[in-house]
Chain A
Amino acid sequence: MSRAVVLKTARDSFVLLLLVLAAIVTLEMLYVLAMGRLAHDLLDIWRKIPFLKDVMRVLVGVNISGDVSATTLTTLGLVHPVLLATSWAFLLTVCTRDITGDIDAGIADLVLTLPLPRAAIYTGTTVVWVVACALFAAAAWCGIALGEQVFHPPEPLVLHRLLIPVVNLCALLLAIGGVSMLVSALSSRRVVAVAIMLAILLASFLVNFLEVFIDQMRYVSFLGFMHYYRPVDAVRTGQWPVGQLAVLLIGGATAWTIGLWRFNRRDIPAV
């Protein structure tokens, strides 16, 4: 691993990282506020409009009906599209920058002709986004905790139980990062790598979504990332989703390792 590459990647991503962290903390705080005030009404709306209930089921992985605790409702903030979109955007930005070897965007010709093994560039980049994944998950938890302190919801939140979906979120982001590194190592153009990753994430979301409406989709839904991220379920039961965590972490690590192997051997053409 190269310290210079780590520092450079960290500096490159610093402003974006701060923006994403601020967005996550703010979002989660607002979610605590909204859930405290609107929970009753929202549950009524979901009960009356079945489609919305299905949409929520897609996002959180279980049916939300009947008595749900404030903690469970707050968990919805951990599947909010803003949280997912901003954190994924950060991962795609960092993972595809130098690893694609795109001469236009990544100045790869300079970085890759430094006296550094390619593995040092790969691992140096990895350190930054892995730390970012942990920070994003921590920011989500901190946002909820801060929201509770500031807005005092009617029902207290069980913060320690929220650690389960937060860890699950971290594993989800790590898996997406690992696959992004693999896709970047296989691509010579950054735009292609980003497009492929967006397609994968969209497909993952779509498969998960259709599973609720089309029974046969359950045969392929295991291929999507979101299949292994069911925060409400974990908060309700209080059980650690060991299997889901294992799939995300092992899958992400495998993709990352194949990416490293490929990156070490691939051509860096002038594009």
Chain B
Amino acid sequence: MYAILTDNLSKSYGRRQALDGVSLRVPTGSRFGFLGPNGAGKTTTIRLLLGLLRATAGSAEVLGGNSWHDGPRLRAQIGYLPGDVRFYDHFTGRRMLAFLAAARGGVADAEIHRLTRQFDLDLNRRIRAYSRGMKQKLGLIQALMHRPRLLILDEPTTALDPLVREVLADELRRVSADGRTVLFSSHTLSEVEDLCDWVAILRDGRLIEQERIETLRLRAVRQVELVFEHDAQAAGASLPPALRILHRGPRSLSGTWTGPPAPLLQWLHGVSLRDIRISPPDLEHLFLAYYEHEPRPAQDPTTPAKVSP
């Protein structure tokens, strides 16, 4: 089951194509990272999912309903933190939450209290006196307070200190442990890698990858350094094809290994080494490659073969 299912979703503003044929599959209960550089189309996708924008072509299904036509019904089950969250400055935090809760038809006070404690936020102050980080905390509380089935967070860690990021990470784990879904938009790989189990990468309005983080790690590059027991061994060694040599000395080799580690270990078994160093998979490299190279052609929406929740 998918919490979000888009099919060839496109959005253009006049001649500018903001989103081009995106077929996104977000498994129910996943913590789904939505990565892309600024201007890649992440916010446009989110606004389409929330029914704030109407698609130029394609469709978007959220929690089994059409994102445009079933908007109010769906939004009752969605918690949303905008990228640039704003509140009524003259309200106190408490009054702001009370208004949002009333508009949602009521929210359990206990959950608001729990979240307020978790995020350590003073709700009695006027919002104009809040720092940026405090406003972000208030935004997170309002997104979480009604225990939504789908949580959409647009760059939620902006302005949060490391401690609060940890609190947020715990909350998101709790949400997905309940079988609820998190869509987490970011342009920073490291936080997506920490918090999410799935990732989709958007570039220039096109979806260029969506995969489990674990699977991506297998495709990621490891730095490998080998020091051989004897001189000239490095020159004469027959290397496995996945090992790409970047530097070759008389007794040493350094390069990169792409793919699962088993074949590398198997090959190393037959080589006599004095020293070895293999780095953890470097996703940063992989993602930079996605950002730097030409995007793949838009995928066929009928064959989302990589997704297997």
Binding site for B on A (CB under 8 A): 2-5, 7-8, 12, 103-104, 107, 109-117, 265, 267-270
Contact = CB atoms under 8 A, between A and B. Distances in A.
B52 A116 contact: no
B75 A107 contact: no
Interface stretch (B82-90, B216-224, B282-290): B82-90
B243 to A, nearest CB: 46
Q: Which 8 residue pairs are nearest across A and B when measured between Cβ atoms?
A: A115-B76, A109-B82, A4-B103, A4-B102, A268-B52, A115-B75, A107-B86, A114-B103
Contacts of A2: 103
A110 B82 contact: yes
A268 B88 contact: no
Contacts of B13: 269
B194 to A, nearest CB: 26
A114 B13 CA distance: 25
Contacts of A114: 75, 100, 103-104
Contacts of A3: 102
21 contacts: A3-B102, A4-B103, A5-B103, A7-B99, A103-B84, A103-B86, A109-B80, A109-B82, A110-B80, A110-B86, A110-B87, A113-B82, A115-B72, A115-B76, A115-B105, A116-B72, A267-B53, A267-B54, A268-B47, A269-B52, A269-B53
A128 to B, nearest CB: 14
Contacts of A268: 47, 52-53
Contacts of A269: 13, 47, 52-53
B259 interface: no
Contacts of B142: 110
Contacts of B43: 270
A104 B75 CA distance: 22
Contacts of B80: 109-110, 113
Given A112-B52, A267-B52, A268-B47, A117 B82 contact: no
A125 B13 CA distance: 28
A106 to B, nearest CB: 8
B79 to A, nearest CB: 9
B75 A4 contact: no
Contact of B78 (A103, A113, A116, A270): A113
A26 B119 CA distance: 49
B71 interface: yes
B113 interface: no
B85 A110 contact: yes
B227 interface: no
B85 A109 contact: yes
B192 interface: no
Contacts of A270: 43-44, 47, 83-84
Interface string B30-58: 00000000000001100100101110000
A111 to B, nearest CB: 8
A179 to B, nearest CB: 25
Contacts of B102: 3-4, 7
Given A8-B88, A111-B103, 11 more contacts: A4-B99, A7-B99, A107-B87, A109-B86, A110-B80, A114-B100, A114-B103, A115-B104, A268-B53, A269-B53, A270-B84
B73 A8 contact: no
A203 B15 CA distance: 34
Given A115-B75, A268-B52, A269-B53, A107 B103 contact: no
B283 to A, nearest CB: 28
Contacts of A265: 54
B87 A115 contact: no
Contacts of B99: 4, 7-8
Contacts of B105: 115
A103 B44 CA distance: 14
A46 B43 CA distance: 62
B135 to A, nearest CB: 11
A13 B83 CA distance: 27
A264 to B, nearest CB: 10
B72 A117 contact: yes
A76 B103 CA distance: 44
A110 B99 CA distance: 11
Contacts of A111: 103
Nearest to A105: B86
A114 B75 CA distance: 6
